[in-house]
Structure 1
Amino acid sequence: MFSEKANQIFIEVIEKYHIEDRVDQEFNNPYDTKSQTIEHLLYRKCWIDTVQWHYEDLIRDPNIKPDDALVLKRKIDASNQDRTDTVEFVDSYFLEKYKDVDVKQNAKINTESPAWGIDRLSILALKIYHMNEEANRTNASQKHQMACKAKLNILLEQRVDLSTAIDQLLADIEKGEKYMKVYKQMKMYNDDEMNPVLRNKK
Protein backbone atom coordinates (compact mmCIF):
# COMPACT_ATOMS: atom_id res chain seq x y z
CA MET A 1 0.00 0.00 0.00
CA PHE A 2 1.20 3.51 -0.81
CA SER A 3 0.47 4.87 2.67
CA GLU A 4 2.72 2.26 4.26
CA LYS A 5 5.65 3.50 2.17
CA ALA A 6 4.81 7.12 2.98
CA ASN A 7 4.52 6.51 6.71
CA GLN A 8 7.85 4.65 6.78
CA ILE A 9 9.60 7.53 5.02
CA PHE A 10 7.99 10.11 7.32
CA ILE A 11 9.22 8.22 10.39
CA GLU A 12 12.67 7.97 8.81
CA VAL A 13 12.78 11.73 8.23
CA ILE A 14 11.60 12.70 11.71
CA GLU A 15 14.04 10.36 13.43
CA LYS A 16 16.89 11.60 11.21
CA TYR A 17 16.07 15.24 12.03
CA HIS A 18 16.06 14.62 15.77
CA ILE A 19 19.57 13.16 15.78
CA GLU A 20 20.87 16.75 15.64
CA ASP A 21 17.54 18.45 16.41
CA ARG A 22 18.57 21.76 14.81
CA VAL A 23 16.59 23.79 12.28
CA ASP A 24 19.81 24.85 10.53
CA GLN A 25 21.20 21.38 9.97
CA GLU A 26 22.14 20.27 6.46
CA PHE A 27 19.42 18.59 4.41
CA ASN A 28 20.49 15.38 2.68
CA ASN A 29 17.84 13.48 0.76
CA PRO A 30 18.93 9.83 0.54
CA TYR A 31 16.52 9.13 -2.32
CA ASP A 32 17.21 9.77 -6.00
CA THR A 33 17.46 13.53 -6.46
CA LYS A 34 17.85 13.53 -10.24
CA SER A 35 14.61 11.86 -11.30
CA GLN A 36 12.55 13.12 -8.34
CA THR A 37 11.07 9.74 -7.47
CA ILE A 38 8.03 9.66 -5.23
CA GLU A 39 10.30 8.57 -2.38
CA HIS A 40 12.43 11.66 -2.96
CA LEU A 41 9.36 13.90 -2.89
CA LEU A 42 7.93 12.28 0.24
CA TYR A 43 11.24 12.66 2.06
CA ARG A 44 11.55 16.30 1.01
CA LYS A 45 7.95 17.02 1.97
CA CYS A 46 8.31 15.67 5.49
CA TRP A 47 11.68 17.37 6.01
CA ILE A 48 10.10 20.73 5.20
CA ASP A 49 7.27 19.98 7.64
CA THR A 50 9.69 18.87 10.36
CA VAL A 51 11.88 21.97 10.15
CA GLN A 52 8.81 24.19 10.08
CA TRP A 53 7.36 22.43 13.13
CA HIS A 54 10.43 23.56 15.05
CA TYR A 55 10.36 27.04 13.54
CA GLU A 56 6.86 27.31 14.99
CA ASP A 57 8.19 26.30 18.42
CA LEU A 58 10.97 28.87 18.26
CA ILE A 59 8.81 31.80 17.22
CA ARG A 60 6.54 31.26 20.24
CA ASP A 61 9.38 32.00 22.65
CA PRO A 62 7.95 34.91 24.72
CA ASN A 63 11.47 36.35 25.07
CA ILE A 64 12.35 36.29 21.36
CA LYS A 65 13.80 39.55 20.09
CA PRO A 66 11.62 41.36 17.52
CA ASP A 67 14.36 41.30 14.87
CA ASP A 68 14.87 37.56 15.38
CA ALA A 69 11.12 36.98 15.22
CA LEU A 70 10.90 38.80 11.91
CA VAL A 71 13.73 36.73 10.43
CA LEU A 72 12.01 33.59 11.64
CA LYS A 73 8.66 34.71 10.24
CA ARG A 74 10.29 35.13 6.83
CA LYS A 75 11.69 31.60 7.10
CA ILE A 76 8.24 30.25 7.96
CA ASP A 77 6.75 32.08 4.96
CA ALA A 78 9.40 30.60 2.67
CA SER A 79 8.85 27.17 4.18
CA ASN A 80 5.10 27.40 3.55
CA GLN A 81 5.76 28.22 -0.09
CA ASP A 82 8.21 25.33 -0.38
CA ARG A 83 5.66 23.02 1.24
CA THR A 84 2.94 24.02 -1.24
CA ASP A 85 5.30 23.64 -4.20
CA THR A 86 6.27 20.15 -3.04
CA VAL A 87 2.62 19.12 -2.62
CA GLU A 88 2.04 20.14 -6.22
CA PHE A 89 5.05 18.09 -7.34
CA VAL A 90 3.53 15.06 -5.58
CA ASP A 91 0.21 15.63 -7.33
CA SER A 92 2.04 15.97 -10.65
CA TYR A 93 3.54 12.54 -9.99
CA PHE A 94 0.06 11.04 -9.59
CA LEU A 95 -1.31 12.90 -12.62
CA GLU A 96 1.47 11.40 -14.72
CA LYS A 97 1.04 7.95 -13.19
CA TYR A 98 -2.70 7.81 -13.88
CA LYS A 99 -2.82 9.81 -17.12
CA ASP A 100 -3.80 6.77 -19.21
CA VAL A 101 -6.56 5.52 -16.90
CA ASP A 102 -9.93 5.14 -18.62
CA VAL A 103 -12.12 7.32 -16.39
CA LYS A 104 -15.63 5.95 -16.02
CA GLN A 105 -18.56 8.11 -17.06
CA ASN A 106 -19.96 8.18 -13.54
CA ALA A 107 -16.58 8.81 -11.88
CA LYS A 108 -16.57 11.20 -8.93
CA ILE A 109 -14.09 13.81 -7.79
CA ASN A 110 -12.67 13.94 -4.28
CA THR A 111 -12.73 16.92 -1.93
CA GLU A 112 -8.93 17.05 -1.99
CA SER A 113 -6.16 15.72 -4.20
CA PRO A 114 -4.02 12.75 -3.09
CA ALA A 115 -1.06 15.00 -2.27
CA TRP A 116 -3.02 17.16 0.16
CA GLY A 117 -4.10 13.99 1.98
CA ILE A 118 -0.42 12.98 2.07
CA ASP A 119 0.40 16.46 3.40
CA ARG A 120 -1.89 15.81 6.37
CA LEU A 121 -0.33 12.38 6.85
CA SER A 122 3.12 13.97 7.12
CA ILE A 123 1.92 16.47 9.73
CA LEU A 124 0.22 13.64 11.59
CA ALA A 125 3.53 11.76 11.78
CA LEU A 126 5.03 14.79 13.51
CA LYS A 127 2.14 15.03 15.95
CA ILE A 128 2.55 11.34 16.82
CA TYR A 129 6.30 11.67 17.36
CA HIS A 130 6.03 14.67 19.64
CA MET A 131 2.95 13.47 21.51
CA ASN A 132 4.79 10.22 22.22
CA GLU A 133 7.68 12.28 23.60
CA GLU A 134 5.29 14.12 25.90
CA ALA A 135 3.58 10.90 27.00
CA ASN A 136 6.94 9.53 28.08
CA ARG A 137 8.58 12.70 29.41
CA THR A 138 9.97 11.70 32.80
CA ASN A 139 9.97 15.24 34.23
CA ALA A 140 6.26 15.71 33.47
CA SER A 141 3.47 14.97 35.90
CA GLN A 142 1.61 11.68 35.73
CA LYS A 143 -1.55 13.61 34.83
CA HIS A 144 0.24 15.19 31.87
CA GLN A 145 1.62 11.84 30.74
CA MET A 146 -1.77 10.14 30.93
CA ALA A 147 -3.48 12.95 29.03
CA CYS A 148 -0.85 12.78 26.29
CA LYS A 149 -1.14 8.99 26.06
CA ALA A 150 -4.87 9.34 25.50
CA LYS A 151 -4.23 11.90 22.76
CA LEU A 152 -1.53 9.68 21.26
CA ASN A 153 -3.99 6.80 20.94
CA ILE A 154 -6.38 9.05 19.04
CA LEU A 155 -3.59 10.23 16.73
CA LEU A 156 -2.57 6.64 16.01
CA GLU A 157 -6.17 5.77 15.17
CA GLN A 158 -6.35 8.85 12.96
CA ARG A 159 -3.23 7.70 11.08
CA VAL A 160 -4.85 4.35 10.34
CA ASP A 161 -8.01 6.04 9.08
CA LEU A 162 -6.19 8.63 6.99
CA SER A 163 -3.83 6.03 5.53
CA THR A 164 -6.80 3.86 4.59
CA ALA A 165 -8.60 6.81 2.98
CA ILE A 166 -5.53 7.73 0.90
CA ASP A 167 -5.04 4.16 -0.28
CA GLN A 168 -8.73 3.88 -1.17
CA LEU A 169 -8.61 7.16 -3.10
CA LEU A 170 -5.58 6.05 -5.12
CA ALA A 171 -7.23 2.68 -5.83
CA ASP A 172 -10.39 4.43 -7.01
CA ILE A 173 -8.38 6.73 -9.28
CA GLU A 174 -6.50 3.76 -10.69
CA LYS A 175 -9.80 2.00 -11.47
CA GLY A 176 -11.29 5.12 -13.04
CA GLU A 177 -13.97 5.38 -10.37
CA LYS A 178 -12.61 8.75 -9.21
CA TYR A 179 -10.61 11.36 -11.06
CA MET A 180 -8.23 14.00 -9.84
CA LYS A 181 -7.79 17.62 -10.80
CA VAL A 182 -5.10 19.91 -9.53
CA TYR A 183 -5.70 23.60 -9.06
CA LYS A 184 -2.32 25.28 -8.94
CA GLN A 185 -1.79 27.61 -6.01
CA MET A 186 -3.19 31.08 -6.40
CA LYS A 187 -1.62 32.72 -3.38
CA MET A 188 -1.92 36.44 -3.78
CA TYR A 189 0.26 37.71 -0.96
CA ASN A 190 3.47 36.34 -2.54
CA ASP A 191 2.74 37.92 -5.92
CA ASP A 192 4.39 41.27 -6.70
CA GLU A 193 1.39 42.33 -8.75
CA MET A 194 -1.44 41.06 -6.52
CA ASN A 195 -0.17 42.07 -3.09
CA PRO A 196 -0.71 45.87 -2.91
CA VAL A 197 2.14 46.30 -0.42
CA LEU A 198 4.64 44.57 -2.71
CA ARG A 199 3.20 46.29 -5.78
CA ASN A 200 3.67 49.73 -4.28
CA LYS A 201 7.29 48.95 -3.43
CA LYS A 202 8.21 48.37 -7.06
Structure 2
Amino acid sequence: MSAVAEREVPTTATQVGVSGELLESVVDAVTNGLAMCGVSARCVGVSSVPSRETGSITGMIGVHGKVSGFVTVNMAERFAIKAVEGLLGDTFSELTSQVVDGAGEITNIIVGGAKSALGRSEWAFSQITVPSVIVGQGYAIAYARGLEFLNVTFEHDDPEAVLLADRLMHVSVSLLRQ
Protein backbone atom coordinates (compact mmCIF):
# COMPACT_ATOMS: atom_id res chain seq x y z
CA MET A 1 0.00 0.00 0.00
CA SER A 2 1.38 3.39 -0.95
CA ALA A 3 0.28 6.83 0.09
CA VAL A 4 0.16 9.78 -2.25
CA ALA A 5 0.35 13.26 -0.78
CA GLU A 6 -2.03 15.70 -2.35
CA ARG A 7 -1.53 19.39 -2.19
CA GLU A 8 -3.79 22.18 -3.19
CA VAL A 9 -2.30 24.43 -5.83
CA PRO A 10 -3.24 28.09 -5.32
CA THR A 11 -5.63 29.20 -8.04
CA THR A 12 -6.34 32.78 -7.04
CA ALA A 13 -4.23 35.75 -6.06
CA THR A 14 -5.71 35.82 -2.56
CA GLN A 15 -4.61 32.23 -1.96
CA VAL A 16 -1.05 33.32 -2.69
CA GLY A 17 -1.43 36.47 -0.61
CA VAL A 18 -1.20 39.08 -3.37
CA SER A 19 -3.57 41.69 -4.75
CA GLY A 20 -5.58 40.36 -7.70
CA GLU A 21 -5.64 43.84 -9.23
CA LEU A 22 -1.86 44.15 -8.99
CA LEU A 23 -1.30 40.64 -10.38
CA GLU A 24 -3.69 41.21 -13.28
CA SER A 25 -1.98 44.50 -14.17
CA VAL A 26 1.45 42.82 -14.29
CA VAL A 27 0.24 39.84 -16.36
CA ASP A 28 -1.56 42.14 -18.82
CA ALA A 29 1.41 44.54 -19.04
CA VAL A 30 3.84 41.69 -19.77
CA THR A 31 1.50 40.06 -22.29
CA ASN A 32 0.90 43.33 -24.14
CA GLY A 33 4.53 44.48 -23.89
CA LEU A 34 5.94 41.23 -25.23
CA ALA A 35 3.36 41.23 -28.04
CA MET A 36 5.02 44.47 -29.22
CA CYS A 37 8.21 42.40 -29.48
CA GLY A 38 6.55 39.54 -31.36
CA VAL A 39 7.14 37.29 -28.34
CA SER A 40 4.67 35.50 -26.11
CA ALA A 41 5.04 34.08 -22.63
CA ARG A 42 2.63 32.54 -20.19
CA CYS A 43 2.41 33.12 -16.46
CA VAL A 44 3.75 30.00 -14.71
CA GLY A 45 4.20 31.20 -11.13
CA VAL A 46 3.13 33.80 -8.60
CA SER A 47 4.63 34.53 -5.20
CA SER A 48 4.22 37.10 -2.45
CA VAL A 49 7.83 36.70 -1.31
CA PRO A 50 11.05 37.70 -3.06
CA SER A 51 12.89 35.00 -4.95
CA ARG A 52 16.33 34.87 -6.47
CA GLU A 53 16.16 35.93 -10.09
CA THR A 54 17.96 33.48 -12.33
CA GLY A 55 18.36 35.53 -15.51
CA SER A 56 21.41 37.58 -16.35
CA ILE A 57 19.63 40.77 -17.51
CA THR A 58 17.59 42.82 -15.04
CA GLY A 59 15.81 46.08 -15.82
CA MET A 60 14.85 48.17 -12.79
CA ILE A 61 12.51 51.16 -12.57
CA GLY A 62 11.51 53.19 -9.52
CA VAL A 63 7.86 54.23 -9.17
CA HIS A 64 6.16 56.91 -7.03
CA GLY A 65 2.57 58.03 -6.43
CA LYS A 66 0.02 56.55 -4.04
CA VAL A 67 2.70 53.87 -3.65
CA SER A 68 6.48 54.03 -3.92
CA GLY A 69 8.89 51.28 -4.80
CA PHE A 70 10.51 49.39 -7.62
CA VAL A 71 9.64 47.09 -10.48
CA THR A 72 12.30 44.73 -11.78
CA VAL A 73 12.15 42.67 -14.96
CA ASN A 74 14.69 39.84 -14.88
CA MET A 75 15.23 37.68 -17.94
CA ALA A 76 17.60 35.12 -19.34
CA GLU A 77 20.08 36.40 -21.92
CA ARG A 78 18.43 34.29 -24.62
CA PHE A 79 14.99 35.64 -23.67
CA ALA A 80 16.32 39.23 -23.78
CA ILE A 81 17.94 38.72 -27.19
CA LYS A 82 14.77 37.21 -28.69
CA ALA A 83 12.54 39.98 -27.30
CA VAL A 84 14.88 42.78 -28.40
CA GLU A 85 15.21 41.21 -31.86
CA GLY A 86 11.42 41.42 -32.19
CA LEU A 87 11.28 44.94 -30.77
CA LEU A 88 14.00 46.32 -33.07
CA GLY A 89 13.46 44.06 -36.09
CA ASP A 90 17.13 43.12 -36.07
CA THR A 91 19.17 39.97 -35.37
CA PHE A 92 21.65 39.57 -32.51
CA SER A 93 23.80 36.50 -31.87
CA GLU A 94 25.09 37.69 -28.51
CA LEU A 95 24.58 40.26 -25.79
CA THR A 96 25.37 43.73 -27.16
CA SER A 97 24.83 47.28 -25.97
CA GLN A 98 21.72 47.40 -28.18
CA VAL A 99 20.30 44.33 -26.43
CA VAL A 100 21.00 45.89 -23.02
CA ASP A 101 19.32 49.16 -24.09
CA GLY A 102 16.43 47.14 -25.54
CA ALA A 103 16.01 45.26 -22.25
CA GLY A 104 15.69 48.66 -20.54
CA GLU A 105 13.04 49.66 -23.07
CA ILE A 106 11.12 46.41 -22.56
CA THR A 107 11.18 47.11 -18.81
CA ASN A 108 9.87 50.61 -19.53
CA ILE A 109 7.05 49.21 -21.71
CA ILE A 110 6.01 46.72 -19.02
CA VAL A 111 6.09 49.29 -16.19
CA GLY A 112 4.22 51.79 -18.39
CA GLY A 113 1.51 49.19 -19.02
CA ALA A 114 1.15 48.48 -15.30
CA LYS A 115 1.09 52.23 -14.57
CA SER A 116 -1.81 52.69 -17.00
CA ALA A 117 -3.73 49.71 -15.63
CA LEU A 118 -3.32 50.81 -12.02
CA GLY A 119 -3.98 54.54 -12.60
CA ARG A 120 -7.28 54.66 -10.72
CA SER A 121 -6.49 52.07 -8.07
CA GLU A 122 -4.98 52.07 -4.60
CA TRP A 123 -1.74 50.92 -6.33
CA ALA A 124 -1.50 54.00 -8.61
CA PHE A 125 1.85 55.56 -9.35
CA SER A 126 2.23 58.62 -11.54
CA GLN A 127 5.99 58.89 -11.80
CA ILE A 128 8.59 56.40 -13.02
CA THR A 129 12.35 56.66 -13.26
CA VAL A 130 14.56 56.01 -16.24
CA PRO A 131 15.31 52.27 -16.41
CA SER A 132 18.61 50.94 -15.12
CA VAL A 133 19.87 47.60 -16.40
CA ILE A 134 21.98 45.19 -14.38
CA VAL A 135 23.98 42.72 -16.48
CA GLY A 136 25.22 39.60 -14.74
CA GLN A 137 24.20 37.19 -12.04
CA GLY A 138 25.02 36.76 -8.38
CA TYR A 139 23.62 40.03 -7.07
CA ALA A 140 20.99 40.27 -4.35
CA ILE A 141 18.34 42.90 -3.75
CA ALA A 142 17.50 43.56 -0.09
CA TYR A 143 13.90 44.58 0.54
CA ALA A 144 12.73 46.69 3.48
CA ARG A 145 10.06 45.41 5.83
CA GLY A 146 6.52 46.57 5.24
CA LEU A 147 6.62 46.35 1.46
CA GLU A 148 3.87 44.70 -0.54
CA PHE A 149 5.67 42.22 -2.76
CA LEU A 150 4.66 40.40 -5.92
CA ASN A 151 6.84 38.12 -8.03
CA VAL A 152 5.42 36.74 -11.28
CA THR A 153 7.28 34.19 -13.39
CA PHE A 154 6.65 33.88 -17.13
CA GLU A 155 7.84 31.20 -19.54
CA HIS A 156 8.65 32.16 -23.14
CA ASP A 157 7.41 29.68 -25.70
CA ASP A 158 10.80 29.47 -27.44
CA PRO A 159 10.88 25.99 -29.05
CA GLU A 160 14.64 26.21 -29.61
CA ALA A 161 15.51 26.89 -25.95
CA VAL A 162 16.77 23.65 -24.44
CA LEU A 163 17.11 24.84 -20.85
CA LEU A 164 14.14 26.04 -18.83
CA ALA A 165 16.24 28.89 -17.42
CA ASP A 166 16.64 30.27 -20.97
CA ARG A 167 12.86 30.67 -21.27
CA LEU A 168 12.13 32.50 -18.01
CA MET A 169 11.27 36.08 -17.12
CA HIS A 170 10.55 37.26 -13.56
CA VAL A 171 8.70 40.49 -12.89
CA SER A 172 8.98 41.66 -9.29
CA VAL A 173 7.02 44.52 -7.79
CA SER A 174 7.89 45.89 -4.34
CA LEU A 175 5.65 48.73 -3.16
CA LEU A 176 5.19 50.80 -0.01
CA ARG A 177 1.78 52.37 0.45
CA GLN A 178 1.91 56.08 1.30
Whichever of the two has the greater Rg, that structure is: 1
TM-score under structure 2 length normalisation: 0.28
- Greater fraction of residues in strand: 2
- Greater fraction of residues in helix: 1
Higher relative contact order (CA 8 A, sep 6+): 2
TM-score under structure 1 length normalisation: 0.26
